[in-house]
Chain A
């Protein structure tokens, strides 16, 4: 499978990344390199091997349903660019 420059631009748009033509070209070259690696791996015979959803063969540890985190709003908002009335402010979004 090969990656087109349009695929790169589409992914960039979905991730809200503004890529210039030159940046898109660079990303295309880099991503294509990764695709090459994947192609090599796909050549390996994996007949009868169950796909893994995680690299380690361990399962999820569960946490008891208890409130352990207190209010740290002031601390967290001290690094926010803009806050008001306890809210984080971001450029206006209307869908």
Chain B
């Protein structure tokens, strides 16, 4: 096995293009009225069209066309007013017609582009990059072959056959595995954002193929190998890293690269050849005579444009410009529509009575959503919409902080307590409510102590009881300040106004 760490070889340039198959979130199949629900008993959703009984005819699903249009608009692409379905012929038992209905020379979505953010690493500063999209076309998915032991036979489940796919093809614009992963993640977020795909990678709703080649900078493109069916971002990173290293070593040892299709083996961390170009299929594409040309009228495009939400790029720019957030915070919040929307609602609910949104403390809200809410969801592996604490409850907690009624520690305790309630319900319900926030503050006397006389008295007591530590502090052991803060906070039962308490402590300890 090759060593895993990539030696950064500046004399080689890495070139990557991605083909992504997104399953469109329609209820029925692309060419028939069978259900597309995941996980049904084998072949119970395989109707006469899905199993290709003789004499059946395909009828195109409007929902699939609408989703393709939405995607095209979201990447600034030209929507073809006239596009054609073609037959892609190949022989495999999970494709009972003997051809896949796809699009070839006239796809529904033309050239577009998306902006990706490559995150910082230990050695490199993060940056932004535009990746061009070549095209996106509609096609049908195939069924599934099960090669487990059926007495030397293969089992075929055609439930997935006919599920609508949008295949999104990028230009070979990516120059590292990190860029390829950033592109795939951005696309993954975008298709969920505009509601055309559920993005569930375990269920195969978002599958990536990576075309990888290397070349000396300034020379023509090298021969590429295609890594098939990458169904996680982690595997994509590993597979590309391995493939690049393998190609560079092969070339440096005087070998040549054969165009080929390879599979990634996650257990071994290696790519393995599936077939070479010589054995590759000759698909014999031709227009499908069963399907008429697809005409998309301008008014349908306009209808879809109306339905599009504010796009992540625009929202990110707005968060930076209008809410004063850092580029990092804005990028994290807009990585997912639910998170972005939650943040905006929290900001609204955190306003004091009669306060306008311009005066919201967006930074405070962003910190809470990123460091507390998103962190918890990540930790517990929750779907991006399964919030343990509702936006209006968190908003109320933050409102009470902003009004000086409770301090950050009390706020966090309440938040954690509410989240635990949600967890105990299996996230079937939110923990807490705005009313409960105020009720608990009242019942438990959580209002922060901002009475300077009370805090001073408490600090005096601590100083008197810890004369030795006070002497150490005064002789220059500054680190002890934290010790006194801890004692004072504990003495106030966590309710002291921390800013005020710090001031008083500093003053009194200073002697």
Query: Using a CB–CB distance below 8 Å, which chain A residues touch chain B?
Result: 10, 14-16, 53-56, 58-69, 71-73, 76-77, 82, 84-95
Contact B60 A63 (CB under 8 A): yes
A72 contacts across to B, CB distance below 8 A = 47-48
* CB under 8 Å from chain A, chain B span 382-436: none
Contact B34 A65 (CB under 8 A): no
Q: Interface readout for B14-49 with A: 1 if CB under 8 Å, 0 if not?
A: 000000000000111000111100000111111110
A88 contacts across to B, CB distance below 8 A = 43, 93, 155-156, 158
A66-B33, A95-B275 given; name 14 further pairs at CB < 8 Å.
A16-B91, A53-B106, A59-B293, A61-B59, A63-B61, A64-B62, A65-B64, A76-B51, A88-B93, A90-B153, A90-B154, A91-B154, A92-B147, A92-B153
B269 contacts across to A, CB distance below 8 A = none
- Bound-complex Cα distance A71 to B42 (A): 11
Contact B43 A73 (CB under 8 A): yes
Main secondary structure of the interface of A (DSSP, over half): loop
Contact A15 B62 (CB under 8 A): no
Query: Using a CB–CB distance below 8 Å, which chain B residues touch chain A?
Result: 26-28, 32-35, 41-48, 51, 53, 59-65, 84, 89-93, 98, 106, 145-147, 150, 152-158, 274-275, 281-282, 284, 287, 289, 291-295
- Nearest chain-A residue to B34 (Cβ)? A69
From residue B261, how far is it (CB to closest CB) to chain A in Å? 10
- Bound-complex Cα distance A93 to B53 (A): 22
Given contacts A14-B89, A66-B28, A67-B28, contact A86 B157 (CB under 8 A): yes
B48 contacts across to A, CB distance below 8 A = 69, 72, 76
- Bound-complex Cα distance A76 to B372 (A): 53
- Bound-complex Cα distance A72 to B43 (A): 9
- Bound-complex Cα distance A61 to B295 (A): 9
Given contacts A15-B91, A93-B145, contact A69 B32 (CB under 8 A): yes
